Amino acid sequence: MVSARNEEREFMERAFELAEEALASNEVPVGCVFTYEGREVACGRNEVNRTKDPTTHAEMVALRNLQAENPDIGEVILYNHFFRYHGEHKAVKEILRDLVLYVTLEPCIMCASGLYELANERFGGICSVGNWSKYNKEKAEVEVVVDSTYADRSIALLKSFYDKQNPFAPEEKRKSKKSKQ
């Protein structure tokens, strides 16, 4: 039997594998994996530059993949770039509530809102970009699971991306690097 800690490590490694794929494809290096009852049910990585679609963050790609690969979750629809549950299919609602998310970086506000709509009390990230409590709904109770051993790795991936600059950014938006003397 796989321990919870080893399972967590396995899925975080999978998320980092996806983030590294994103980096190799000139995307912001973020990867994410959804699990249900200890098995991967969907994954995603940033695809914004490839798709020219600003909503294709890792979490949103994973949510779309979850919907595409699990027809029983057909009642979960994309609405205004966020997933919202419509209908009273209890089994589907329970599956969504029990998903576990492994992600290499704290979800942005768009993705956090999409995740919140799943009615799932567990999600995690590196608490650095936004403050969930500022943006949550009144009754939100979110369990933030942070393992600091992954923080340095995530930061290093982001630095790698931004050091080489985004080749898809308009020239006038790119920061010019001053040579060190």
Among the listed residues 59, 69, 94, 117, the single catalytic one is 59
Distance of CA 7 to the CA centre of its chain: 18
Strands 31-36 and 39-45: antiparallel
11 belongs to a structural domain? yes
159 belongs to a structural domain? yes
Rounded to two decimals, the pTM is: 0.73
Q: How many CA atoms lie within 13 Å of 109's alpha carbon, on the beta-carbon side?
A: 8
pLDDT tens string 86-132: 444 445 556 667 788 899 988 888 888 777 666 544 554 444 444 44
> Number of folded domains in the chain?
1
173 belongs to a structural domain? no
Confidence class of residue 181 from pLDDT cuts 50, 70 and 90? very low
- The DSSP output letter for 75 is T
pLDDT tens string 33-50: 988 888 898 999 999 999
CATH number of the domain enclosing 50: 3.40.140.10
Share of residues in the chain with pLDDT > 70 (%) = 60
180 belongs to a structural domain? no
Q: Which residues constitute the domain of residue 81?
A: 4-166
175 belongs to a structural domain? no
Q: Can 172 be counted among the known catalytic residues?
A: no
How close are the terminal C-alpha atoms of the chain, in Å? 57
CA distances in angstroms from 154 to 16, 105, 106, listed in the order given: 8, 7, 10
